[in-house]
Structure 1
Amino acid sequence: MSGANEYGAELTDFRRRVAELQTARALPAHQRLSALDAALIELQHVADVLWPRYEQLASAARAPGGGRADPREQQLLRALFQRLPIPVVLLDRDCVVRRMNFSATQLFQTRAGYATGRPLTESLRRDGRAVLRSQVAAVARDEGGRSLVVHLPGPGSDGALRVTLAGLRPPGEPHSAVLATFQPTGEGAVAVAAPTVPGQAGGVRQPGARRPDLDEVTRHAERLDLIDDMATTLLGTVALAGSGPKTVLDRAAAVLHGRFADWVIADVAADPARPETARRVVALGPPDATADRVTSVAEQDPAGCPLVAEAIRDGVSALQVRPHDADAFGRDASGAPVLIREDVTSLLCVPLRVSPGEPVLGALTLFRTGGRGAFEMAEAGVADRLSRHIALALGRISHQPPPSEDGQQRPERAVAPGS
């Protein structure tokens, strides 16, 4: 029975990898070659492994071997794993992180607790994800170790890393694991921080020796400036005679475009309970985006974007770094996933509403692409505040009296207290 379960898990993994390889059609032509090689590996795996194993499925399952290791020896091995001066990650057959040493956390700029249980491919450039998955799966099938080049998100080749994969079977576990080590491919590659030995000079500062983070102070000031500029813009727009929802969203998007996000997309909803009533009002793309690409996003039906529909219907905000679901923002007219076509590395999608429980007036979606730094939690908080300010402006516009015949805004009638 264990053999059948293992075969079923392997077949499920194979189908998942093939589905991911299918999205490679949306990649630029020069990035498809590695995906083609991975597809050939998967086809060879079907012919050489899956089909023969299916015919031999009735054979007896291999009994797990090895006794329980000495706890002191296990503790020593864990300490050695953490102290290794190169990034090392222990993966399962589906490329999900089981354990990550200190050097690897520095390389991928994450915490070990956060990375555990998540696919390692989320930390890599999109064009190499399917390839790494296939190679890890091959090593987990005991087909031998191998080496390949992957890339961290970033411009040029500075993020190129040589990853070496080796299979191992942890004691007492029925499935193989894969040990992955990472090395820079050249002088311009990413610098890797080595773990600090207590008492050694340099490295991580000891508690109590913390210095002010000037970069964080600068980023905080920039976020405050953005909120101030948005408030000034919205107040001026509301005071402008004849302003409508499109004017508010156009001016708000102009504040965010380029400065805070590469793509700024705004949708308004006639009925929050029915996302299909939403319509796209604003779509601003990066300077290098062609008119056809911007037009395809502008003409996209918001109801076909799961993130937008969820934000409007349920008032749910989303912060995603290296989005795993390629269809989270729908597809363009040619059928290509928008997130892949635009090389989106992180996104924010927030509902436009004054406060929880209030009606949702629409959704604001922000993309960062290419080598630009991903959205942080602090920036997600800024986007949430800005969405409330925009919703206040939209609500104020909808309650303004119509312009008078001379084009001037009619003042609202003052209401005396108690009247």
Structure 2
Amino acid sequence: MAEAEDYGVELTDFRKRVAELRATRALPDGARPATTLDAALFELQYASDVLWPRLEQLAADQRKNSRSADPKEQQLLRAVFQRLPLPVLLLDGESVVNRLNFAASQLFGLRAGYAAGRSITASLAHPSRAVFRGQVAAVARNEGSRSLSVELMRGLADESAHPGRLWVTLTAVRPPGHRRTAVLAVFQHTARLPGPRPAGDAPAGRPDPAGVSGHVVLMDLLDDMTAALLDAPGRRGASPLERAARVLHGRFADWVIADRADPGGGPLRRVAVLAPADRAGGDRAAAVAAQDPAGAPLIREAAGAGASALQIRPEDPFVLGESAEGVPVLALTEAASLLCVPLRLPSGAVVGVLTLLREGGRQAFELAEASAMERMSRHVALACRSS
């Protein structure tokens, strides 16, 4: 098992290096290292001489030494899994349920025996199903953990508490006895998302200073966003989407990319790109501004499915597409975390997409921030509709 995990890590690192070589190929001749060809040949030799023989050896060992794990340890793990207070499911790469705990059976209204072998997407609203399947499949391919927003099918949600909006965190696992990578899915109601926490929790009955501070920062951001959207529509000729981007830039995100759909529908068009204030920021912003939003898979999914996505240290360098020169947008922006939020009207129509990026030297986006951004996105969508 340890050998298989080590092999998976090596294979993931190999894929990253190949992606970096692919991005280097698109650089101008003067900026392209002279050793790129040597590096590519080295990686090919590594795959032929190291990765492939190790794969054959692992397959042979698995066939020879297929023995079950300690029954007591399995019993303990099952008990822990069932008693977790959050809804947790074990899925395969096609979103089919392998196991679910008691909290998940209550959330989805399913018995464990009935749910096993069926896709969990049937319990989600139709706009959320495609994006959920795509993210689960990506995690099962060992492309990294990720979080996204989904909505429960009507009738399952507790309308008195929250209209079915959930945050789900997906991560790859390899349970004993499974030949393929499984996906562990943990669900949370967005209304119950915790605020920022320090390493040690505050004593019971006392407010957590870090949590209170984070809440105040988000409330200030909400207040400034509301003021900007209620400002005179024609002030400085800026649209509501551009004004919203200015509020978010700097204080909430290092990069803000705003895409708008035409009033009658149709493809997205890029209306604003706000970059960090450095010497190279202008050139990088121009390259991102010239990009067609349709070439960014994550933005395209957000516009089509109407679901938000949160990624920490994204594994796929091309998740936001590439510039005209073929350089991944993630590499241009040096983003370490991203938040892609559709601007959705109450009718369900998407009038635009906001993509927020934070660079590596800054704390990654948290679930509480993503929840607050979802609330602001509804306000921005309404302002765009009336502009």
1:20 aligns with 2:16: yes
1:247 aligns with 2:247: no
1:213 alignment partner in structure 2: 208
CA apart distance, 1:256: 0.8
1:233 alignment partner in structure 2: 228
One-letter amino acid matched to 1:268: R
Contact (CA 8 Å) 1:268, 1:280: kept in 2 or not? yes
C-alpha distance in structure 1 between counterparts of 2:348 and 2:144, whole Å? 38
- Within-5 A mapping of 1:280-299: 280-288=270-278, 289-299=280-290
C-alpha distance in structure 1 between counterparts of 2:383 and 2:226, whole Å? 10
In the TM superposition, what whole-angstrom CA distance separates every residue of 1:233-261 from its partner, at most 9, and x where no partner exists? Answer: 111133x47x76x5322222111110110
Contact (CA 8 Å) 2:249, 2:274: kept in 1 or not? yes
**TM-score scaled to structure 1, two decimals?**
0.52
1:350 aligns with 2:341: yes
C-alpha distance in structure 2 between counterparts of 1:365 and 1:41, whole Å? 34
C-alpha distance in structure 1 between counterparts of 2:341 and 2:214, whole Å? 21
C-alpha distance in structure 2 between counterparts of 1:13 and 1:265, whole Å? 32
1:259 alignment partner in structure 2: 251
Match of 2:361 among 361, 371, 389: 371
**TM-score scaled to structure 2, two decimals?**
0.56
SS of the equivalent of 2:232 reads helix
One-letter amino acid matched to 2:273: A
Q: Which runs of 5 or more residues in structure 2 are unaligned? A: 77-138, 147-174, 181-198
Moved more, 287-296 or 212-221: 287-296
SS of the equivalent of 1:237 reads coil
How many residues are matched? 271
1:394 aligns with 2:384: yes
Contact (CA 8 Å) 2:255, 2:358: kept in 1 or not? yes
CA apart distance, 1:290: 2.8
One-letter amino acid matched to 1:64: N
CA apart distance, 1:19: 3.4
Contact (CA 8 Å) 1:315, 1:351: kept in 2 or not? yes
C-alpha distance in structure 2 between counterparts of 1:303 and 1:73, whole Å? 46
CA RMSD, Structure 1 to Structure 2 (Å): 4.9
SS of the equivalent of 2:350 reads coil
Contact (CA 8 Å) 2:272, 2:289: kept in 1 or not? yes
Structure 1 pair 74–329 and aligned structure 2 pair: CA distance change class (3 A): same
2:302 alignment partner in structure 1: 311
C-alpha distance in structure 2 between counterparts of 1:350 and 1:39, whole Å? 40
Say which one has the larger Rg. Answer: 1
- Within-5 A mapping of 1:17-166: 18-25=14-21, 26=23, 40=42, 43-44=45-46, 46-47=48-49, 50=52, 63-64=64-65, 69=70, 71=72
C-alpha distance in structure 1 between counterparts of 2:176 and 2:51, whole Å? 25
Q: Which runs of 5 or more residues in structure 1 are unaligned? A: 1-5, 76-115, 124-169, 176-202, 398-419
One-letter amino acid matched to 1:283: V
C-alpha distance in structure 1 between counterparts of 2:144 and 2:306, whole Å? 29
Structure 1 pair 210–117 and aligned structure 2 pair: CA distance change class (3 A): farther
CA apart distance, 1:329: 0.6
2:103 alignment partner in structure 1: none
One-letter amino acid matched to 2:65: P
C-alpha distance in structure 1 between counterparts of 2:210 and 2:54, whole Å? 58
CA apart distance, 1:284: 0.3
CA apart distance, 1:224: 0.7
C-alpha distance in structure 2 between counterparts of 1:215 and 1:31, whole Å? 45
1:223 alignment partner in structure 2: 218
1:338 alignment partner in structure 2: 329
SS of the equivalent of 1:287 reads coil
CA apart distance, 1:312: 1.8
Structure 1 pair 295–50 and aligned structure 2 pair: CA distance change class (3 A): same
CA apart distance, 1:314: 2.1
Structure 1 pair 229–204 and aligned structure 2 pair: CA distance change class (3 A): closer
Structure 1 pair 331–223 and aligned structure 2 pair: CA distance change class (3 A): same
Structure 1 pair 10–224 and aligned structure 2 pair: CA distance change class (3 A): closer
Contact (CA 8 Å) 1:269, 1:312: kept in 2 or not? no
Contact (CA 8 Å) 1:272, 1:360: kept in 2 or not? no
In the TM superposition, what whole-angstrom CA distance separates every residue of 1:87-138 from its partner, at most 9, and x where no partner exists? Answer: xxxxxxxxxxxxxxxxxxxxxxxxxxxxx98969769xxxxxxxxxxxxxxx
Contact (CA 8 Å) 1:234, 1:252: kept in 2 or not? yes
C-alpha distance in structure 1 between counterparts of 2:297 and 2:272, whole Å? 18
Contact (CA 8 Å) 1:318, 1:348: kept in 2 or not? yes
Structure 1 pair 209–235 and aligned structure 2 pair: CA distance change class (3 A): closer
Contact (CA 8 Å) 2:306, 2:348: kept in 1 or not? no
C-alpha distance in structure 2 between counterparts of 1:69 and 1:120, whole Å? 30
CA apart distance, 1:218: 0.8
Identity of aligned residues (%): 41
1:359 aligns with 2:349: yes
